[in-house]
Each structure stands twice: as C-alpha cells, then as structure tokens.
Structure 1
Amino acid sequence: MSHPASPTETDPASTRPASTAAPGTPAALGRILRRRVLAPGEALTFAALKLRLIGLPTGLGSTGLGAAGWALIAVAAVLGGLLRFVRLGDPHALVFDETYYVKDAYSMLQSGYERSWPDNANPAFIAGHPQLQNTPEYVVHPPVGKWLIAFGMWLFGSDNGFGWRFSAAAIGTLSIVLIGLAAWLLFRSRVLAGLAALLLAIDGHHLVMSRTGLLDIFLSFFLLAAFVALLLDRDDGRRRLARRLSDAAADGLGTVTAGRPALLETGPFLGLRPWRLLAGILIGLALGTKWSALSFVVVFGLMTLLWDLNARRLAGIQHWIRAGIVKDGLLAFVAIVPVAAVTYLFTWTGWFLSGDAWDRQWAAQNPSTTWSWIPASLRSLWHYHLTAYQFHQGLSAEHPYQASAWTWLVMGRPTSFYYESPTGPVSGCDVQNCSSAILSVGNPLIWWTAALALIVLLFWWIGRRDWRAGAILAGVAAGYLPWFLYPERTTFFFYAVSFEPFLVLGLTMVAGRVLATPRTADDGTVPAARRRWGIVVIGVFVAAALLLTAFFLPIWTAEVIPYEQWRLRMWMPSWI
C-alpha cells in the first residue's frame, strides 16, 4: 500500500532510498520526508502519519515556537501596548459611539442591564456626576462588550477615559499576542509570527479601535481567538488521528480486505476535542458582542469540517467524505453551534436576573397558548431579538462618515471619531490654528499591500490548494462579504476591524514567500543571494511601515498639532 504525499501538506525533495533509522527520530523523519512512496508498514507509523497530516515545524527536531519566537511576539506586544496605553485617557470626552456604549456599560455596572439617560447627559457623566435614570433603555447590541468596558470602569473609575477605555486597550494588546500565535500555527515560522504581531501592533485602525470604548475590538479579539483555537484543534485532531491509526495498525487490527486494512475504510472516532469546544465558547462570546459574528459560525464550522475531511483523505482512508461527516462533522457541530448558543444565552445573565429590563416582562404581558411550553423569559428575549433585528434591517439613516463596504479595503472613507480645533498657542501647538483628531484610518502601506495580498492568496488557494491561504480568505470573507448583502444599510469602515487580523495574516504569508524564495538549488536550499534580497525587501517594508505609523500617530491619538500638520495627513479628500 502506498500513500502519495500531498504537495500542500509536505514537500518531499526527492525519492532517494531510505536508510535505517529508529522510528520517530530526526533521521527517520528525514527519510520519510525525502520519499514519495512508503511501504505499508512504514506508512502507518505515527511518525509518517504525523508528518503527512501536520507537516514539520520550522525544521527537523523543532518542537514549538520557542523562546526566540515568544520574544519576538513579546517585543511587538510591548510596542503595541505602549501605543495603546500612553495617553489613553485623552481626550477626556465621549468620542463617537462611546456616548452609547460607555454609558450603557456604566448602567450595567450599576444594575446588570441598560437604563436610560436624560438628554445632554454627557457633560455630567464626563464630570463624574452620572444622571442614570430608573427606566430601562432599548439597545440593539448584546451585552458582552459593554460588560468588558464596565470591567475597566470598575477597576479605574467611570469618571475618566482611562477607565472606560482600559479593557479595549488590554484586549487590543492581547490581540497582538494572539495573531503572533496564529501566524506560528499557520506558517511554522518564528520570524513570521513576530512580523504578524508587529504589523497589527503598529496599524492605526486597530490602534484607534483599541483606544476607544466601542464594541468592535472585542468582537475582533474573540473571532481571532476562536480562529487560533481551531488551528490548535486542527493539529490536535490530526495528531489524534495519526496516533489512533498507528496504534491500531501496530496492534494488527482489521487486516485486510482486498489488500486494504479494514481500519482504513472509515478510520477511528476522534471524540470531542477541547480546542474545538473552546472555539465554540469564543464564538458565543463574539455573538454576545455583536451579531455580525453569526457569519463566522457558518464559515468557521465549514472550515474545520473541511480540514477534518482532508485529514482523513491524506491518511489514506477510503470513505473519507462519509467518515469525515459522520465521525467528525456531527461532533464538530455539537462543539460549535450548541456550545456557542448556550454561551450566548449565558451572556444575557444580567437581563435574565432583572425584573424590569427592556422587554423582560413581554411574555407575561402577551401570553400565548401556542408557545406556552417555552419559558416566559426565553419568549421575552426572543421578542427583544426580533425587534432588534428589524431595527438593524431598517438602519439606513444618513451619516457623514458612512462608508460602503466597497471602499473598506482601500480605506476610502475612514470614520472620524473626534475632532477639535483648539485655538493656539496651546500645549503641543505653537501656532494659532491647531487640530486634535482621532481618525480610524489604517497604516496605508499595511492596508493597501494587504488588499493586494488577497489576490495572491486567492491564486495560491485555488491553484496550489494551500489550506493556509484558504483559512485566511475564509476569515476575510466571513467578516467582509456579508455586508454586501445590505447595500442600503448605514455602514462604517471601522466594522472592518473584525477581519483586519486576517488581512495582516494574508500580508504576512506573502511576506514569508518573499523571505523564503522558491527552492531552486540541487540540495533544496534557498540561494543565499535571493534570501538576502528577500530580507532587504521585507526590512525596507517594515521600516517604511514604522515611519508611517510615527507620521500618522498624532491623528490616531488626538495629539494637538498645527492645523497644517493635520491637513498634511489627509491623503485623500474623502478622509476629511
């Protein structure tokens, strides 16, 4: 029996004959790597199956990200943390939609649900004299993000911007670590893990969202964390498959029918997998932040199922489609959909425990004989969700900074969160006309090259069947494409932060190809001259991105600068 290697999973260099070596040793792995066809006994060893299903990390004998990889990610996280936390309390104002979410968070901190505010409540709130009323408030977003904002206010107070922005900055900084881990799991390169972390750390769009008390940075974090959990599950599931197949083969189970072991008809059950359960919880938390995470439930669910189907195919299982659906797909559904739904319901605990939150008593006021078997609290929550959905469907009010999804990748209309024109001379501005602004525009070099990288990834996914390109494109598609279904809805560019980490991962993948050019030498190594050119190109790119971050930083962090300096940073008329 032979098992031809998949070009997307391993990259055997030749078909040189094997030498004797102990199974699982670097020498044995090297022999397997060099050969395209293995003997039946060798093909079902754990080393051969693991190599076929997972591939190698950075090199033979490498065991993980290691101290060097974590150090690179840590440096990026420290830099990103400084950018996010320094002057976090400025401006001392409720910027853009903080006027809703910060006050809602304060309300939830007081009573567990959202209560109403009088007109013009912001000045009193900013001054530390909140005028929270006793009547419930109708809101259309779930509670998780607001609970997280409330956590920062509980720690540092509700009368200062640092308190109501702390959680966003902390989650944004943790996202830098997460994307580094995602890059490692995708590319098995410490350098690319550090590069992905650095690019996210210095991008202005992610930075602005991390310095503002809005919901979207929390949505982005939970979705990225779920993606990382599914990547870990991919390795764990394939490792389980390799181990169970190799153990069964070693025990001589199920040999042979028409030359094929019966074990390879459908393969083993792999059971409920902890990383996949964690992904379900994280997706539930994302849904509990914003409903736009719903598309990720579908896309991530299909993605992880396709990974399992391909794993069984690569392992040599004959009925891999049927086996993948029955033995993996059903358990994957249980681990993701019901778990996410239960987690989502749990996020409404404050609403359930209240007696007078919005629509809390709707079922009691509208009794039903048809649905009486459903608990009144769930019927009330369903009605609440129905009205909120209708609100979102009909949201088409004009806004000066609304932006069609067609313009997001090129940052055609970034959202202005804050703008003031202090009269000078003032601190930081020694001229008469000054500006203080927060514009959710990304680092142009990062965003525009990432948009181009998506085209390259599309070719790699279709032409080379590269699963990594497909996974990244799936994340972008889940966060981006659904917005095209609602062309009349009022949308904003900052919604793109939900899929921005996947843009960065796509750019990192292309950068990895530049750094490690195609193998052309006889020994399979990268020519030194071409590698040097790759290092130079990526080095220049990173240096230019850092310079642009320094250039745009004032309009990301509300620094007071001369008006002419602000105008110099408005590269497009649509940015104003």
Structure 2
Amino acid sequence: MRNWGVSAQRLVPPMPGTPTLGWAGPILVALFGGLLRFIRLDEPKAVVFDETYYAKDAYSLITHGVERTMLGDAKDPIADKRLITGNLDIFKQCPQPDDCASFVAHPPLGKWMIGVGEWLFGMDPFGWRFAAALIGTLSILVMARVARRMTRSTLLGCLAGLLLSLDGLHLVLSRTALLDIFLMFWVLAGFACLVTDRDWARQRLADRHERGPVRGLGPRPWRLAAGLCLGAACAVKWSGIFFLIAFAVMSLMWDLGARRALGVRQPYRGAFSYDLPGAFAAMALVPALTFLASWTGWFATSGGWGRNWAQATSSGPVFFVVDSVRSWLQYQLQVLGYHSNLHEYHPYMSEPWQWPLLIRPVSFHYPSDLPPSACGADKCSQAVLGVGTPALWYAAVLALVGLVAWYVATRDWRAGAVLLGVAAGWLPWFYYALADNRTMYLFYMIPVVPFMVLALVLVAGLALGRQDAPSPRRAAGAAVVGAFALVVLINFWWLYPVLTAETITHADWWARMLMRSWVTAAPK
C-alpha cells in the first residue's frame, strides 16, 4: 500500500519551530519598522508632493462620500497652507452637489484608507499620513510571514521583514499620503494568501487522494481572501490588474503541479474541471465585486463626477441601477483615456529601465527658504527623497539574475513566483514607455520591492545551506548573510536624514546624493 504520509510531507513540508516563535519574530521586526515609520511622522509639516491631491480627496470622501472640487487649482499653495494651519474651508460651496464634482484619475479605496486616519486624528500631516505608516508597518509583518512560509525558516522570514523595513523607498511612501504604499500592501497580501492557499490545497489534495479519487477540493478560503486583496489592489490603482492576472494564472498552475506531483490520474483534466471554476470565482468575480464596492460612495451620493443623479432617479429602481452602471462605465472610460494620454513633463519623471539602478528618484520635499539658523551652517537642507536603499536594490538585481538561472535549472516554484511578481509589476511599464511615452516615476516600483526582498532571501537561504549542512558551511553562509544585512542597515542609516526631512547642513545633504541625476532636472 502506498505511503501517503510521505507524499503529503513532500507536497507540504512542515513549518519550523512553534507557532509562537513563528509570530514573535516577525512581530518584533514589524515593531522595529513601525518605529522608523511613526517617529516624527508629522514632519515635514507641509503638503508633500502629491499629498496635495490625495489628502484633500480623502477628506472629501469622508466628508461628502465623493471627491469634490477645491478652491483654486488642486496644487494651490494657498489651499495647502490652509490645511497646515487647520483651515478646512478648502472646498467650494455649491448650490447643486454635482456643481462641485471633481474628476479623479484613480479608484477611491486608497483615499478612503487615508481618510480613516484623517477621521481618527484630524486633517493634519499626522492624520493624513497615519494610514500609510500603519499599512507600511503591517506590510513588514506580512513580508516576514510569507517569506517564512516559502522558505520554512523563521530566521529567513525575519530577515525578509528586516530588509523591507530598511528600504528607503518603502520608508518614504510609508510616511507620505500617496496611494502606492496601499497598492503594494494589497498586492503583497494577495500573494501571501495564495502562498498559504497553496499549502492548504496541497494538504487537502493529499488527504483526499488517500481516501480515493480526487475531484474538487471544496471552498478555498485563502484563495477567496487573495481575490479580495487583489481586487482591493485594483481599487487603489488600476495597475493592480497586472498582478491579479499573473497571480490567477500562477495559482491555477500550482493546482496543476500539485495533482501531477501526487500522481493523480488526468491531472490536466482535474485541474481544469474542478479547480478552474473555483479559481474563476475567487480570482475574477470576487475582485470585480471588491472593485465595484469601493465605489459605493459614488453610487450612493449625488455629487460624483458624471453621476447624473437627477437622470438616474427620474424613474424606478431598475432604471436607477441601469443608468448608474452606465454612468459609472462612462466614467471608467474617461479615466482610461486620461491614463492613456498622460504625457505631461515632470522634472523627476524616469523610465522603467532606470528604476532598478535608482538612476532617477523623486524629490518629494525640498524647501528652498530654510534659514542658516536651522542647522547652524551657512546653508541648510531638509529633504524627502523617494529613493530605495542602494545596497539592497543593487544586490536584488544580482539576486534576480541568479534566480533566473536557478529557476531554469530546478523549476523551483518559489523562484518562479518571485520572478513572476517582479515581471507583473515592472515589465508592463515598458510598453507604456516605448509605445506611449507615458509620464512615470521610480515609486511605481514599490509593489515590486517585496519580490526583490524575497529574491534576496531565497539567495540567502542558498548561502546558508540546509539545516543538516556541515557546521563550517553554515557558519560561512551566516557570516555572508549577516554582513550583507549589516551593509544594508548602514546604508539605510546614512540615507535616513534625507528620507525623513531631518534638517541638516547642505554639505551633509550633498554627501548623500549618490548620483548627479538624483538632484538635476531631467531633460525635456
């Protein structure tokens, strides 16, 4: 009789240590990252970069249910100063709600999340940055847990969380009210749910195969959760769709691989007959409903862009639903047209092939009117530079090259999943750069950063070797991995003042500019 226990263990290797230790280590790492993100969160006391859009839109959402037009231009410095001084009279007074309707280019979920912080702590820099800092901290915990599950090592899981907490771009976006940190979180959470679903489904497949022919696996709560998270990613920014499609295919391929590994008869037929319908529900219907639900404020109120409330309410409930959906779809087409024609010059725009090498970061904040008394020197600087930690990013580039070779040689699912995550978050932007010449920025890479960290952790696992490897081999690997983590920490510490708006001398600021392209304007 076949030993099904061996098959199950091969399909789902046991997790290391105890659940308590598996949670304690990642939580401690997340608390460390959280301190870095919450300390001086209200600095700078200014509206930083595109906070001028999202902080105001978020306030409008929690106040009116939709984004409304502000007094003056969206980047009106007078309105920004009103925010900093606590004057919230920044929205037009409108005789009719739709007179103040504001066209916005991104779905509302990320702004709703920013708005929660404003509702809890007030309309000030801490309030509108709170949600970003919290989500950035939680992403470190998720990173550590998913890396632990993928490597079956609590040590490597904690290393992954530590590296993410020490990335400069992740830190800056966790301390700024932009949408991209929320996109990154939901993408990472969706990926983590799918990795957990992979273990869950393979264990259930092995158990059912022991009792007889395998058909469906029944409800899969982790894959449903993944669909919810990836739908939320799309509800923050449309670019979440790239990850949704890639991960949906990946999940189905994992199902197929599990059936083949277990020796199930007709694995292809089983995967497409029994797994595909559930995958479609979890990875298509659930994300679509999640995306639609994020627009509840627009559907339920009369002041949204293109809402046509009077027309929708002119007849019965059926017409209301039909006309509302028609107006909403028309709005989505307008947003698509906006993104397809976004060619406006920006001094810190960059191309996707420049991003991994950090050639052109984004200056989020750099006031030019600091008095010498601010730092005790002839010239002072206070900067928020949206840039990754170079030691981490450059090593990640090498790790990804190594991962390609590893995947070609071994077909290791972990290497394939990491490479797919990088491809889904990076390669689509090449189309927009080559075919559309779209305006783009380095921080579009933030959803890819967790997969860069996973690449480093997988290579670190190779350096450490197996648990049963000779002690000198393990000691040498631990020394290399520890030295690398220390280099990343030192590099992050060196950059920290220009990531968090510390007031330093101009000479100290200049010393931290790795390349001239970090400070000079891009050519028009």
Task: Please indicate the TM-score interval, normalised by the length of the shorter structure.
Answer: over 0.9
Q: What letter is aligned with 2:6? A: A
Unpaired stretches in structure 1, ≥5 consecutive residues:
1-40, 249-262, 520-524
Name 2:455's counterpart in structure 1. Answer: 506
Q: Deviations over 1:348-397 (max 9, x none)?
A: 000001112101018939x9xxx989711111000000000000000011
Alpha carbons 1:437, 1:556 under 8 Å: kept = yes
Cα distance in 1, alignment partners of residues 187 and 438 from structure 2: 23
Normalised to the residue count of structure 2, the TM-score between the two structures is: 0.93
How far off its partner does 1:52 sit? Answer: 2.4
Q: Which whole-Å deviations, capped at 9, do the CAs of 1:310-349 have from their partners, x for residues lacking one?
A: 0000110121111111111121111110010011111100
SS at match of 1:288: helix
Q: Select 2:322's aligned residue among 375, 378, 381.
A: 375
Shift in Å at residue 422 of structure 1? 4.6
| Structure with greater helix share of residues | 2
1:114 matches 2:74: no
Q: Does 1:541 align with 2:501?
A: no
Find the aligned partners of 1:74 and 1:157 in 2 and give their Cα distance. 28
Corresponding residue of 2:7: 49
Structure 2 counterparts to residues 44-443 of structure 1, below 5 A: 45=4, 47-58=5-16, 62=17, 66-119=19-72, 120=76, 121-130=79-88, 131-133=90-92, 134=94, 135-158=100-123, 160-248=124-212, 263=213, 267-361=214-308, 364=311, 375-427=322-374, 429-443=375-389
Residue by residue, what CA displacement relative to the aligned partner does 1:151-200 show, whole Å, maximum 9, x if unpaired? Answer: 00011100x21101000000000000000011011100011000000000
Unpaired stretches in structure 2, ≥5 consecutive residues: 95-99, 520-524
Q: 1:515 deviation in Å?
A: 1.3
Deviation (angstroms), 1:297: 1.4
Match of 1:471 in 2: 417
1:556-571 mapped onto 2 (5 Å cutoff): 556-571=499-514
1:529 Cα offset (Å) = 1.4
| TM-score (normalizing by structure 1) | 0.84
Distance (whole Å) between structure 2 residues aligned to residue 200 and residue 527 of structure 1: 30
- Contact residue 208 and residue 439 of structure 1 kept, 8 A: yes
- How far the C-alpha of 1:426 sits from its partner, in A, is 3.2
* Residue among 476, 498, 509 paired with 1:555: 498
Query: What root-mean-square deviation, in Å, do the aligned CA atoms of Structure 1 and Structure 2 show?
Result: 1.8
Q: Distance in 2 between matches of 1:327 and 1:553?
A: 51
Give the aligned residue type for 1:450.
Answer: A
Q: Percentage identity across aligned positions?
A: 45
Matches of 1:110 and 1:279, distance apart in 2: 30
Are the aligned partners of 1:418 and 1:438 in contact in 2 as well (CA < 8 Å)? yes
Report if the CA contact (8 A) 1:395-1:489 is conserved: yes
Q: Tell me what 2:522 maps to.
A: none
User: C-alpha separation between the residues in 1 aligned to 2:15 and 2:40?
Assistant: 40
Q: Conserved in 2, the CA contact under 8 Å of 1:216 and 1:495?
A: yes
Query: Could you say if the C-alpha distance between residues 363 and 516 of structure 1 is closer, same or farther in structure 2, counting changes exceeding 3 Å?
Result: farther
Find the aligned partners of 2:23 and 2:401 in 1 and give their Cα distance.
30
CA contact (8 A) 1:72 1:194 kept: yes
Q: What SS does the aligned partner of 1:390 have? A: helix
Shift of 1:239: 1.0
The secondary structure found in structure 2 opposite 1:513 is helix
- Aligned to 2:366, what secondary structure does the other structure show? strand
Is 1:469–1:506's contact at 8 Å kept on the other side of the alignment?
Answer: yes
| Residue 36 of structure 1: aligned partner | none
Contact 1:422 1:436 in 2 (8 A): no
Q: Contact (CA 8 Å) 1:423, 1:432: kept in 2 or not?
A: no
Alpha carbons 1:421, 1:433 under 8 Å: kept: no
Query: Is it true that 1:515 corresponds to 2:464 in the alignment?
Result: yes
**Closer, same or farther: CA 274–379 of 1 in aligned 2, 3 Å:** same
CA contact (8 A) 1:69 1:191 kept: no
- In structure 1, what is the Cα distance between the partners aligned to 2:459 and 2:266? 35
Q: Secondary structure at the match of 1:417?
A: strand
Contact 2:302/2:309 (<8 A) preserved: no
